[in-house]
């Protein structure tokens, strides 16, 4: 049993390497930028225009916050009043081009002909976003290219009632479309983060709102993980001294136990990119090893490692599904290893220095496949590191307080993690490019976050 408990303990253990230029070294406050050298003014300016429709105030608020949290724009605050938006069309202003975007209609066209592009350009805006109403509880979001003096794209979405559970997701999806229209990249607006608190699994929007209990209230739970399609997630629950894995549908909330699990201590599930296979850790008196099971067909348990009284756990798939990074104690302290998805070719992945570095745990492969995040013991406390998959260079990302359990956003540039830098353990988000850091959940006791992929479109949202 001592070995069994150790197999669980290594989940929260988290060596010293030279701090990188991108680590955080300053005092923390909400929304500050830390450590990483950042030159203001290099990002495009974005202004979200006021709306005359009170019903759309919440949409505008969510849009503004999501665009700010994307860390890709300089958000411009307008002077008091919004008279500059409704002035007559300035010279050079032109209506949308024929192929500017799907769904172009009266509301957006009207906004285009009244926007004073030269004035917004003088204010430093590269893009302007207008939210206008349309019949049938529909919102029109128009993305203006200020420099070109025209409409970049127009998007329509049917809005659920404000108190409807789907309202926030539709607004977040609109923000995602604005980012894609402006810069051609995907963001994190329409995503959620799973985490464990007081033995239960919760979900929260990436902007820190709408916290919901998603696991059973009758059993202790841990180890949440998302499927790549964003429609399912998995986690472990304790049942009669064993760990049983479940897969739960996001839309319906229905869940089902994973076949072949629940007879031992099964934990840390990880979906394969195609969603057909679930890798997980199984702890017994002889140690902890990695297994896979075909959840599509409910069969075919396969053992990937044979520990022989050492531990192998915490699998994470590469985005192409060809490799699995994991934790192993075969060299003594837990370290990050990698193997082929069938269990062959096992080797050390993240280099470390004996005597100078400590244990490493909780790996997660980034969605772009270029890096693996994990936490590592540095002088008796845990810090977040990233491993360059190609060069295998290790870089320390955090240094303030105790930091652990990193999880990547789908854009591979934002990361959620657990930190006590504010005096208690809570969830934080860092943009690894600019160094901006913000609290995600200002409650004590959160751990084991898992960031979702971009969530699928709702039935009430249309192009």
Neighbours of 274 (CB within 10 A): 12
CB 327 within 8 A of CB 347: no
pLDDT at 39: 44
Global pTM?
0.85
Q: Which of the residues in the chain have pLDDT under 70?
A: 1-41, 80-113, 355-356, 458-463
Query: pLDDT tens digit string along 12-52?
Result: 333 334 344 444 433 333 444 333 333 444 799 999 999 88
Residue 449 CB partners (closer than 8 Å, separation 6+): 193, 194, 195, 405, 407, 416, 417, 418, 427, 440
Per-domain residue ranges of the chain: 2-33+191-451, 73-183
Which parts of 54-170 are beta strand (E)?
A: 74-75, 127-134, 138-145, 150-158
* Token pair of 314 as six digits: 């915490």
Chain centroid to Cα 202, Å, comes to 15
Instruction: Give how far Cα 315 sits from Cα of 15, 146, 247, 290, 328, Å.
Output: 20, 47, 17, 7, 10
**DSSP for 222-264?**
EEEEE-TTSSEEEEEEEETTEEEEEEEETTT--EEEPTT-SSS
CATH 2.40.30.10 fits 2-33+191-451, yes or no: no
For 68-105, b/e burial (b = at least 16 CB within 10 A) is bbbbbbbebebeeeeeebeeeeeeebebbeeebbebbe
> How far apart are the C-alpha atoms of 463 and 452, rounded to whole Å?
23
424-427 long-range contacts (CB < 8 A, ≥24 apart) are 427/193, 427/195
Of 35, 37, 59, which is closest to residue 49 (Cα–Cα)? 59
């Amino acid at each position: 049993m001592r070995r069994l408990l150790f197999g669980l303990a290594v989940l929260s253990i988290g060596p010293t390497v030279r701090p990188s230029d991108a680590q955080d070294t300053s005092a923390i406050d909400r929304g500050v930028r830390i450590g990483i050298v950042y030159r203001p003014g290099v990002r495009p300016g974005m202004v979200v225009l006021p709306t005359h429709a009170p019903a759309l105030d919440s949409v505008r608020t969510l849009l503004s916050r999501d665009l700010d949290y994307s860390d890709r724009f300089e958000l411009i605050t307008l002077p008091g009043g919004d008279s500059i938006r409704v002035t007559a069309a300035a010279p050079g202003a032109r209506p949308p081009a024929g192929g500017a975007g799907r769904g172009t209609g009266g509301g957006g066209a009207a906004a285009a002909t009244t926007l004073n592009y030269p004035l917004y350009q003088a204010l430093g805006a590269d893009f302007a976003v207008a939210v206008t109403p349309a019949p049938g509880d529909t919102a029109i979001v128009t993305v203006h290219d200020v420099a070109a003096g025209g409409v970049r794209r127009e998007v329509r979405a049917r809005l659920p009632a404000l108190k409807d559970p789907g309202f926030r997701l539709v607004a977040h999806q609109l923000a995602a479309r604005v980012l894609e229209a402006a810069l051609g990249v995907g963001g994190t607006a329409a995503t959620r983060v799973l985490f464990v608190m007081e033995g239960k699994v919760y979900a929260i929007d990436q902007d820190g709102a709408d916290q919901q209990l998603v696991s059973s209230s009758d059993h202790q739970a841990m180890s949440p993980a998302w499927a790549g399609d964003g429609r399912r997630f998995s986690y472990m629950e304790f049942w009669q001294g064993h760990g049983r894995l479940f897969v739960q549908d996001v839309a319906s909330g229905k869940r089902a136990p994973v076949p072949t699990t629940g007879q031992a201590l099964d934990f840390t599930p990880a979906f394969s990119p195609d969603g057909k296979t679930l890798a997980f850790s199984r702890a017994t008196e002889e140690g902890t090893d990695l297994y896979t099971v075909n959840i599509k067909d409910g069969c075919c348990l396969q053992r990937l490692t044979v520990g022989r009284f050492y531990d192998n756990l915490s699998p994470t798939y590469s985005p192409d599904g060809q490799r699995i990074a994991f934790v192993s104690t075969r060299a003594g302290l837990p370290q990050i290893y990698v193997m082929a998805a069938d269990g062959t070719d096992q080797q050390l992945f993240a280099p470390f220095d004996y005597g100078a570095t400590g244990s490493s745990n909780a790996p997660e492969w980034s969605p772009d496949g270029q890096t693996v995040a994990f936490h590592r013991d540095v002088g008796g406390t845990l810090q977040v590191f990233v491993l360059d998959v190609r060069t295998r260079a290790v870089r320390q990302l955090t240094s303030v307080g105790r930091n652990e359990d990193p999880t990547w956003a789908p854009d591979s540039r934002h990361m959620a993690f657990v930190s006590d830098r504010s005096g208690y353990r809570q969830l934080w988000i860092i943009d690894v490019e600019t160094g901006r850091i913000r609290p995600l959940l200002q409650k004590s006791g959160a751990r084991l976050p898992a960031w979702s992929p971009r969530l699928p479109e709702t039935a009430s949202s249309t192009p």
